Amino acid sequence: MRLTIVGHLKGQLTAATRIAMNRGAAVTHAESVEQALRTLRAGRGADLIMCDVALDVRELVSSLSAERFHVPVVACGVDNDTRAAVDAIRAGAKEYIPLPPDPELIGAVLAAVADDSRDMVFQDPSMISLVQLATQIAASSASVLITGESGSGKEMLARLVHEKSPRAKAPFVSVNCAAIPEQLLESELFGHEKGAFTGASARRIGKFEEASGGTLLLDEISEMDVRLQAKLLRALQERVIDRVGGGKPVPVDIRVIATSNRALADEVRKGTFREDLLYRLNVVNLKIPPLRERPADVLALAAHFASKYARINGFPIRPLSTEARAELARQRFPGNVRELENTIHRAVLLAVGSEIGADAIRTPDGAPVSTARGAAAQAVETAEQIARSFVGKTLADVERDLIFDTLGHTRGNRTHAANILGISIRTLRNKLNQYDDEGFAVPPPQAGVAAA
């Protein structure tokens, strides 16, 4: 845990620093918002920022956002300064810690930040074998490619590889390649020199340098532009990077883990991903099964999230009822672990009584999941019935029936029918002439409807 404390280190903040260090945090101090930003630009990253409300918390939060530093901020101040606490939360601070510092409160905040990124719960045999493989290869420096559907836990597995590796005490730095505009991603990864481009008002150390000695996670790497992939390949091969606007290569010592929710081999065939980069990244491939293929994980994760969100919301920890567990086991969870987490969070908030019942398992709009599942099953059944109706027919038969049905819908208007079918009026007329020659009854325009 890397903690940056922003403010003048007078008695109470000094005590907070000491408590955080005793809890295992690596603490950096900055006296002002600008000094904190300079520290971050220099590559001394942070997992959490604690800012004195005597400073401008809003300026800090907005500056972090403007410079794409994704770091949560908690405010701290004397416990009787209610107005400052409210203003800090409105400015974007995640929490408010009253001073003098309470060791348990600071410990809880640090643990919450750590837990958000490191909780990995699994019981399914497929995940047990996958985690064993991840642990086995963690000791090496080999690049790792983690694949799986969105929300299946790719970043969690990447963090586990880092924590089981000799680099565990060094930084773990994550970059979401899909969330950063193409024109900014190069600077985000490799950094830039002052004046390198419009808006580059100061030198910025990139994620490669920030992660030096540790692990760099390139999340959803399939979204990276092909031109930038060439520079990434060089960085991986030669272990040097070039800052944007820089004059000399900068050596880096990192392990790279990449994730993708797409099959990169398919992207190579489409020309959107470099084959040589795929080979460089795919030394080891860890493929996470979707949650629907890990039934034993559903209930284990559900119990974990129920406990987590009860603590966060100040509720008593309640077990899932037998009916609720059965309902969860029936779900498909297309959004994987992320969807399950949101489902359980809602259930914790909606449940009444000593257990979390099946009636608390609801969709985001408040509908019981059984109703949603019934509607989905009915839609699937309808689709299957439609598909079965085509069995035994030729493609020409299906095409003719579709044209005639569309003409019926447009009351015989050829132009409207052609627009709906996505063909030209000439093509439609040729088809109708063909059907007429073959002896089929072509639907005529209805009364009052022009043929064209």
Instruction: Let me know if residue 295 belongs to a domain.
Output: yes
Mean pLDDT in residue range 264-287: 93
- What size, in residues, is the chain? 452
| Confidence (pTM) | 0.66
Among 232, 264, 287, which residue terminates a domain?
287
pLDDT in tens, 132-189: 999 999 999 899 999 999 999 999 999 999 999 999 988 899 999 888 887 789 988 9
What is the pLDDT at residue 115? 54
Q: Which two tokens stand for residue 310?
A: 């009860």
Question: Binning pLDDT at 50, 70 and 90, where does residue 449 land?
Answer: low
Query: Which is more confidently placed, 67 or 381?
Result: 67
Structural domains counted in the chain: 4
How many CB atoms lie under 10 A from the CB of residue 231? 15
Cα distance between residue 265 and residue 231, in whole Å: 20
What is the pLDDT at residue 374? 53
Averaged pLDDT of the chain: 85
Instruction: Let me know if residue 381 belongs to a domain.
Output: no
What is the pLDDT at residue 224? 92
Please, what is the end-to-end C-alpha distance for the chain in angstroms? 72
Q: Which of 438, 403, 381 is nearest to 389 (CA)?
A: 381
- Specify whether 296 is located in the same domain as 282: no
Task: Determine contact, residues 97/52, Cβ cutoff 8 Å.
Answer: no
What is the pLDDT at residue 372? 52
Residue 53 scores a pLDDT above 90: no
- Least confident window among 81-95, 162-176, 314-328, 397-411: 81-95
- Specify whether 450 is located in the same domain as 346: no
For residue 69, what are the domain limits?
2-117
pLDDT in tens, 22-49: 777 788 888 899 999 888 888 777 888 9
Domain of residue 439, CATH code: 1.10.10.60
Residues 6+ apart with CB under 8 A from 386: none
What is the pLDDT at residue 357? 94
Question: Binning pLDDT at 50, 70 and 90, where does residue 383 land?
Answer: low
Task: Determine contact, residues 68/78, Cβ cutoff 8 Å.
Answer: no
Query: Which is more confidently placed, 404 or 199?
Result: 404
- Specify whether 73 is located in the same domain as 206: no
Residues 6+ apart with CB under 8 A from 205: 41, 42, 43, 191
